[in-house]
Structure formats: C-alpha cells, structure tokens
Structure 1
Amino acid sequence: MMAEHPLVLSPQGHLKLIIFDCDGVLVDSEETCCRISAEEARRAGMDVPDEQAVKVFSGMALPGIQNMIEQKTGVHLGHDWAAMMQKRFVAAMKNGVEPVEGVYDMLNSIRKLGVPVRVASNSSQEEMDAKFSITNLETFFEKRIHSARDMGIPKPNPAVYLKAAEEEGVSPSECLVLEDSDTGARAAVDAGMTCVMLRAADKTVPEWENILKIHTLSEFAPLVEKALQQQGH
C-alpha cells in the first residue's frame, strides 16, 4: 500500500519535527512499570508472571491495563485504581530509573542537526518529570512534553502525536516519531507520521506503511542526518 505522503525521510520529504516516545526510547522504566502492573494483575487473579510483564503491558496506558485486568478476572479495581498506580509509578521512578543506552549521544547529535524535538508519551507529566529529572534529560525537552495520560486520550489513539505537531505548527507528514511499542507505532502511523521503531534484531515490527526499524539508538541520528542532506538542509 502506497503512503499518501512521501516518507518524511525521503528526498521528497520535509522533516521539521522529531517526536520521541518516553519509556523504552529515552528512559528504561518500562520494565519497572510493567512489573508493578503484573503484581497488581496477580493480586486481582490474573496470571501474569514477571517475565511476561513487558510482553503483556508494554505501551499500554493505565486505563487500558485496568480494563484488561477487569475483563480477564471479573474483578472491579475501582475508580481510583489508575490514580493509585500512577503514584506507585512516580515513586518507583524517584527511586531510580536508567537512561536508555546511547540516549545522550543521540540527543546531542540531533540537537546539532537543528531539528526541533518533542516528547509524546502515555506516561503522566508527573511521571515524566520524575524520569527526566533522575536521568538529567529535562534540558532537552523543557516545556515540549505531551502526556496522553493527562489528555485522557492514550495511545493507540493518535491525539497526543497530533497535539505535538499542532503545538510545533507543522503538519503530521513533516514529523518523524521514534517508538518502541506497537501501541505507540500504531498511534504514530494513524497520525499520518513516519515511525522509526527501536527493536532488537531478533524482533519483528508490524507490517504497516511508514514504519522503519533500527536496533540501537546510535543508528537514529545518522538516519536523520542523511535525510536532511538529501532534502537540501
């Protein structure tokens, strides 16, 4: 299926904004949050061992996780469950979270290329403040962070990506997204954006249009630089 617009990385494209997911792309907090979710799922009677936590809950927003657990177990978790879990996530982040390997070099390289950057995540603003403070990443994204959780419209809905593009004053076809989850990639593609997925070599990516794959963050900036050179920047 042909894309409606040229890939933003092609010579015919116009790359004007890079939007990063947070967990699994910038900070390595996804496993921690997924394990907390698995713990709560087991408490409700859902069989999710810790080693399956990331596979089951990766990329999901808290309302989606709650809905899954309730459907699988028939247990009503309560109206305050998502708020309670968010507090647990924030506390876990303050106790320590690691940057994804190579993230500082990648972000510094993108900064030198002069392309504006934003973050669009299913995490709450409070969670991301904690994560970015701990990892010293806040200087890269000050006041350029968008929370689908706080918007009340989590991925795979594309709303948070469309909001980031709107705030930058660019069209979705001029945006490049870096994601690691299928949920986030679906949101990016449905927003009309090109999505680069950070995936291990032995893991596949969805067969959707406007999807590319890299194995490490060190591959991202050279990809962007080549595109900008081809586009005459």
Structure 2
Amino acid sequence: MSHRFDLVIFDCDGVLMDSEIVSARVVAADMTEHGLPTTPEQAMMRFVGTSLRAMKPMIEAERGAPLPADWNDRMVDKIAVAMAAEVTEIIGARAILEELDRLGIAWRIASNSADAEMTAKFGRTGFLALTAGRTHSAPRLFAAGGRPKPAPDVFLDAARAESVAPSRCVVIEDSVPGVTGAVAAGMTCYGFTPHGDGAELRAAGAAGLITRLDQVTGLVVGARVDA
C-alpha cells in the first residue's frame, strides 16, 4: 500500500492528552503567587503551546522582577504532579495510535513538555507501554543546543529517529507555535481543532484541519482530508 506520508508526528498536549487546562491551572496559580493574579483560562489563552523556557522571560517582564533561578525545574515538578492526578486522554487518542501500528505506519510524539511531564501523563492514562521509545521532548535537546517550538528542532529529532525525510512527515498540532515549528521543519502540518474554526492554525501554515483523531488515517493512506 502506498502512503502519502511515512511518519506521523503528534503533538502531545491538546492532541493526545487533554492536558492544557491542567498545565494552565498550575501556571495560573504560580503567577498569582508571584504577584500576577491570573485565571487558568487566561494562562491557557496566553501560553498554549509555549514552552516553560519561553514562558519564564515573559512572566518576568510582566512582573518587572526575575523568577527564582530554579523556576523551570519547580514548574516541571508541579505540572508532573498535577498530570499524574488529573490528566485524561483526548477522545480517540489510543485508538489512532493502535490503528497506525496495525497499518504499519510509523508515528512519534514531539512535545515542548519535559520527559517527567510526559511520563506522568502517559502513566496516568495507561499509554506508557504504547509510547515507550517514541517520545521526543524539546527540553531533552537543550543540552545539545536544541530549541523548543516554534523552532523545528523537536520535529526534526523525531524524523531522524525514523530515518524519514521531513517532506514525508505529517504533523498533527493544535497550537500556533507547533504549526510554525512543523512548517519550519519542512513538514506538512494539519491543525487539530475539535473546537473553533482553526483560523489561527491555517494562518500559521497548516495545510488543513481535522476535528477528530480518526481522520489521521485518511491523511496518510487516503485522499487529503480537510475539516
């Protein structure tokens, strides 16, 4: 069977895991503690798809003072604890990963989340065995000079792991930083928009939109799918 793509790369938060509001609650509470009263909804709207590394100087600029030097590490720990207690999977997440396995189509996960956060998410939802060896974390690349989304680095790392050219990769993303990074990597990106019209994802370069994860199969083995 010929495929339109040889590798599917999924974002984690908001695509496979319903985790963005969980992170937003942690971020909002921390900002409030540091003198910037913030609701989870405000934090989610402002920071969806943004790495902690990029978030820190934004918060510091707003409060006019530095955050603690170990802020990133503390936030990773806080978010991991919250994920282990609260996160759920996006509808259809396990089914699409298992379906791609059945069809012999390679897939990977590329996230701005730290490994500890992904372990907590996949542990709570029972995905650890399924995702083992298939996750790519932007923070894992920092020591070698890697950058978080919207840079393309974590997507390119996923493609290298499967020895697949970027032009043969399709990325499923729900945020502007993610779409921007996928396009910069030379990959085709589809926006995942179960809610909303996805206009901001199209503007960032998404080739099309899907509203359900079961549409991913059609992107790879069938005709182009647009929501």
Q: TM-score, normalised by structure 1?
A: 0.86
Q: Which residue of 1 aligns with 2:139?
A: 149
Aligned mates of 1:48, 1:79 — CA distance in 2? 21
Q: Which residue of 1 aligns with 2:111?
A: 121
**Alignment of 1:190 onto 2:184:** yes
Q: Which residue of 2 aligns with 1:202?
A: 197
3-state DSSP class of the match of 2:46? helix
- Native 8 Å contact 1:179 1:197 kept in 2: yes
Structure 1 outlier segments of 4+, above 3 Å: none
- Native 8 Å contact 1:20 1:119 kept in 2: yes
- Native 8 Å contact 1:16 1:175 kept in 2: yes
- Native 8 Å contact 1:122 1:149 kept in 2: yes
Q: Which residue of 2 aligns with 1:6?
A: none
Structure 1: runs of 5+ lacking an equivalent: 1-10, 229-233
Count of aligned pairs between the two proteins: 217
Q: Which residue of 2 aligns with 1:41?
A: 31
Q: CA RMSD in A?
A: 1.9
Q: 1:102 aligns with which of 92, 102, 111?
A: 92
Aligned mates of 1:214, 1:133 — CA distance in 2? 27
**Alignment of 1:166 onto 2:160:** yes
The one-letter code sitting in structure 1 at the alignment partner of 2:197 is: D
The one-letter code sitting in structure 2 at the alignment partner of 1:179 is: E
Over 3 Å counting, the alpha-carbon distance change for 1:41 and 1:193 in structure 2 is same
**Alignment of 1:216 onto 2:205:** no
Q: Which residue of 2 aligns with 1:225?
A: 221
1:46-65 mapped onto 2 (5 Å cutoff): 46-65=36-55
Over 3 Å counting, the alpha-carbon distance change for 1:208 and 1:89 in structure 2 is closer
Aligned mates of 2:220, 2:33 — CA distance in 1? 45
- Native 8 Å contact 2:189 2:205 kept in 1: no
- Alpha-carbon shift at residue 218 of structure 1 (Å): 2.6
What CA deviation, in whole Å up to 9, does each residue of 1:196-232 have, x standing for no partner?
Answer: 111124342232445211112232223323159xxxx
Over 3 Å counting, the alpha-carbon distance change for 1:210 and 1:49 in structure 2 is closer
Over 3 Å counting, the alpha-carbon distance change for 1:76 and 1:209 in structure 2 is closer
- Alpha-carbon shift at residue 53 of structure 1 (Å): 2.0
Aligned mates of 1:20, 1:43 — CA distance in 2? 33
- Alpha-carbon shift at residue 107 of structure 1 (Å): 1.7
The one-letter code sitting in structure 2 at the alignment partner of 1:125 is: D
3-state DSSP class of the match of 1:197? strand
Structure 2: runs of 5+ lacking an equivalent: none
- Native 8 Å contact 2:9 2:109 kept in 1: yes
- Alpha-carbon shift at residue 14 of structure 1 (Å): 4.8
**Alignment of 1:175 onto 2:169:** yes
3-state DSSP class of the match of 2:86? coil
Q: TM-score, normalised by structure 2?
A: 0.89
Over 3 Å counting, the alpha-carbon distance change for 1:90 and 1:223 in structure 2 is same
The one-letter code sitting in structure 1 at the alignment partner of 2:165 is: S
Q: Which residue of 1 aligns with 2:123?
A: 133
